[in-house]
Amino acid sequence: MNEQEPRSAAPSGTTFTPDTPVRRPIARFQDYADAERAVDTLSDKGFPVERVAIVGRDLELVEQVTGRLDYPKAALRGAASGAVTGALIGWIFGLVAWFTPLIAWLLLAVYGLVFGAIVGALIGLLVHWMQRGRRDFASTTVMRPREYELMVDEPVAAEATRLLGLVA
């Protein structure tokens, strides 16, 4: 005999997993701050906000180009990254030094910073050279939703809608 577990039918527009309650959207916002204000309003009116979720929908990836990347800038970026890593490793080794711990801690951190900067600069140059002009620009990347939905547990959704003054 083939037994199947009963499935819970979640209302349209909701996400259902076995450990989350059935929720439904009660409002949409273009800005996260507006969604946050709606939850704050519910909290101020004594609503159990642990039954509310702000869900970002329709994600988009935005890569903002910040400038041209040439050999000197690639070396500088690599040196900065290597210096931080080297100083951190030197500092950690300095923490376990038993003899003259303060001097060893500072000295190892400085040596790590210098060595890390040199190695990082060389790696930065090498990586930039290996790309052969395919990506000779620097950028920052951010992922952001186009809109935010206020999702509320089904049993208390009507109360949340009433408290926010929304049309049901």
Flag whether 12 is in a domain. Answer: no
Flag whether 14 is in a domain. Answer: no
Task: Tell whether 74 and 125 lie within a shared domain.
Answer: yes
Q: Which tokens hold the place of 4? A: 């199947």
| Stretch 68-87: mean pLDDT | 91
Question: Taking the chain, what is the end-to-end CA distance rounded to the nearest angstrom?
Answer: 45
Task: Tell whether 118 and 98 lie within a shared domain.
Answer: yes
pLDDT at position 6: 36
Rounded to 5°, angle at Cα 39 from 161 and 151: 60
Q: Which tokens hold the place of 44? A: 């101020």
Task: Tell whether 87 and 131 lie within a shared domain.
Answer: yes
Quickly state the pLDDT bin for 18 (edges 50, 70, 90). low
pLDDT at position 134: 83
User: CA–CA separation, 20 vs 30, rounded Å?
Assistant: 25
User: CA–CA separation, 12 vs 23, rounded Å?
Assistant: 10
Task: Tell whether 81 and 129 lie within a shared domain.
Answer: yes
Task: Tell whether 97 and 125 lie within a shared domain.
Answer: yes
Flag whether 39 is in a domain. Answer: yes
pLDDT at position 2: 43
Number of domains in the chain: 2
For residue 103, pLDDT beyond 80:
no
